[in-house]
Amino acid sequence: MMGKSFMPRFESLDELKAFQLEGLKWTVNHAYQNSAFYRKRFNDAKVKPDKIKSLADIKYLPFTTASDLQEGYPFPLRSVPFDQIVRIHASSGTTGKRKILCYTAKDIDDWANMFARCFEMAELNKEDRVQIAVGYGLWTAGVGFQLGCERFGAMAVPVGPGNTEIHLQMLIDLQSTVFCSTASMALLMAEEIERRGIKDKISLKKVILGAERHSERMRRRIKESTGAEHVFDIPGLTELYGPGTGLDCSLHQGIHYWADFYILEILDPETLEPVPDGEVGEMVVTTLKKEGSPLIRYRTRDLTRLIPEPCPCGNILPKHDRIMGRSDDMFIFRAVNIYPSQIDHVLSGFEEIGSEYQVHLYHTEDGRDRMIIKVERASGLSVARDGEIAQMISREIRKQILVRGEVEIVDYGTLPRTARKSKRVFDHRTDLFSEEG
Ligand code: ZN
């Protein structure tokens, strides 16, 4: 076997919970003593650290949001003196200021261990060659993959994002066995491997996808074209160290998350109360060990659900489902809340179309909303079947999402592909309102 394990040693969930309670108490005290922001936030909520006597008492703690991080720019949530900070990372704000997070040496060390655990969960060994296709720099992804890979003891091949040519060359020359990227990048590679007919020249076994939601269909496509046996889903956000806060095991029945590093609450984004076990809500995280920028009930805006059943793999770490979108990505169409992942899900059921799609929303003159879903005809399929296929998809959308959407089939390869995240929902309804002034 591989020797050192990065898995926690808990024998039971009770032991894990006792550990979480200690971590929660430590975090609350640490933040209260050392961060003016948290102290004020606690005082405003009339909560003192000694209020926390059990895990359930987390409900008394105030929330933290992305705007708190932006308002505290450039060092929000900082809870240690500057001489203890060894690195910062930032997350791109789509609007306004970036969110910058501080790391102490111990935070970096913890993160490497968390990431090494991901590779252990994916059942890598030290012979594996891990080709990293995500970015390096202010954004955390690349360096996290590399630290974790080195800590684990496999060989890191740090190529970075984009640059398909070098990636293909490395896959062939170095015989990389693991490929880490966004879903769009992996799909781009899959198409290139297919186009050049080099599948039998590479040795990919595992693909680890992060940073972007992806459908079952995309995973299937990536596996077929690259020959990889497993596609893993790595969640993570910069506020919470970065990627590497959990991973699905080889059974792929949900993402085991590192509950000894953070507490995950799933709350209704409107009421901020816990949703019933197993229902979808917003992920709210509280760190248990983070020194530089601890998080207390941080609202991630990511949607998922807990998977209450124990995993057949036997690992005691609890699971959440795939990220089902952002509470901000949700769009309302004819009074129905729709998450892009629901559209993904419907489209995944059709072999006749490609994996790229776009949703366009319009407001028509008679005051009704109109949804047009653009999908690509599968390569090699006849245009003559477009009408029939569009109707089938439309029927399925009505059945599964309970809304009427029109489907437009476009030529294969015409929807934009990028190595980074693809924008899929285009809401033109507001354009029209602003034109009408
Ligand atoms: Zn498992």
Q: Ligand 1 centre from 317 Cα, in Å?
A: 8
Residue 152's φ and ψ, nearest 5 degrees, are: -70, -35
pLDDT in tens, the chain (437 residues): 456 899 999 989 999 999 999 999 999 999 999 999 999 999 999 999 999 999 999 999 999 999 999 889 999 999 999 999 999 999 875 556 788 999 999 999 999 999 999 999 999 999 999 999 998 888 778 999 999 999 999 999 999 988 999 999 999 999 999 999 998 899 999 999 999 999 999 999 999 998 676 778 889 999 999 999 999 999 988 999 999 999 999 999 999 999 999 999 999 887 899 998 888 889 999 999 999 999 999 999 988 999 999 999 999 999 999 887 777 777 888 877 787 878 888 898 898 998 789 999 998 888 888 999 999 999 888 999 999 999 999 999 999 888 899 999 999 988 887 655 667 888 888 665 443 33
Q: Ligand 1 centre from 249 Cα, in Å?
A: 5
CA 194 to chain centre: 27
What are the structure tokens assigned to 396, written together? Answer: 């399925």
Together in a domain, 229 and 203: yes
From 327, 355, 376, the end of a domain falls on 327
Q: Ligand 1 centre from 308 Cα, in Å?
A: 12
Q: Ligand 1 centre from 231 Cα, in Å?
A: 14
For 77-110, the pLDDT digits (tens) are 999 999 999 999 998 755 567 889 999 999 999 9
Together in a domain, 210 and 355: no
Q: Ligand 1 centre from 167 Cα, in Å?
A: 31
Indicate if the alpha-carbon torsion angle 169, 173, 174, 176 is positive or negative.
positive
Length of the chain: 437
Q: Ligand 1 centre from 368 Cα, in Å?
A: 46
Q: Ligand 1 centre from 319 Cα, in Å?
A: 8
Residue 437, domain member (yes or no): no
> What domain range includes position 356?
331-427
**Domain CATH for 113:** 3.40.50.12780
CA 105 to chain centre: 25
Pairwise CA distance, residues 230 & 206, whole Å: 5
DSSP string covering 87-135, please? EEEEE--SSSSPEEEEEEHHHHHHHHHHHHHHHHHTT--TT-EEEE-S-
Q: What pLDDT score does 437 carry?
A: 30
From 289, 312, 327, the end of a domain falls on 327
Reported pTM = 0.81
Together in a domain, 149 and 203: yes
Pairwise CA distance, residues 275 & 278, whole Å: 8
Q: What pLDDT score does 332 carry?
A: 80
Q: Ligand 1 centre from 314 Cα, in Å?
A: 6
| H or E segment to which residue 377 belongs | strand 369-377
Q: Ligand 1 centre from 84 Cα, in Å?
A: 37
Q: Ligand 1 centre from 290 Cα, in Å?
A: 26
Q: Ligand 1 centre from 14 Cα, in Å?
A: 19
Q: What pLDDT score does 83 carry?
A: 98
Q: Ligand 1 centre from 236 Cα, in Å?
A: 18
What are the structure tokens assigned to 228, written together? Answer: 């990889």
Kindly list the protein residues that place their beta carbon closer than 5 angstroms to ligand 1, a single-atom ion. Answer: 249, 311, 313, 315
Together in a domain, 78 and 164: yes
Q: Ligand 1 centre from 32 Cα, in Å?
A: 36
Q: Ligand 1 centre from 435 Cα, in Å?
A: 52
As for how many domains the chain has, the answer is 2
Together in a domain, 249 and 267: yes
* Angle between helix 183-196 and helix 216-226 axes, rounded to 10 deg: 40
Residue 266, domain member (yes or no): yes
Cβ atoms of 139 and 90 closer than 8 Å: yes
Q: What pLDDT score does 436 carry?
A: 35
Q: Ligand 1 centre from 256 Cα, in Å?
A: 7
Q: Ligand 1 centre from 226 Cα, in Å?
A: 24
From 289, 305, 327, the end of a domain falls on 327
Together in a domain, 269 and 171: yes
Q: What pLDDT score does 300 carry?
A: 93
Pairwise CA distance, residues 158 & 173, whole Å: 14
Cβ atoms < 10 Å from Cβ of 387: 11
Nearest to residue 246, comparing CAs of 231, 262, 266?
262
Together in a domain, 95 and 150: yes
Q: Ligand 1 centre from 250 Cα, in Å?
A: 7
Q: Ligand 1 centre from 119 Cα, in Å?
A: 14
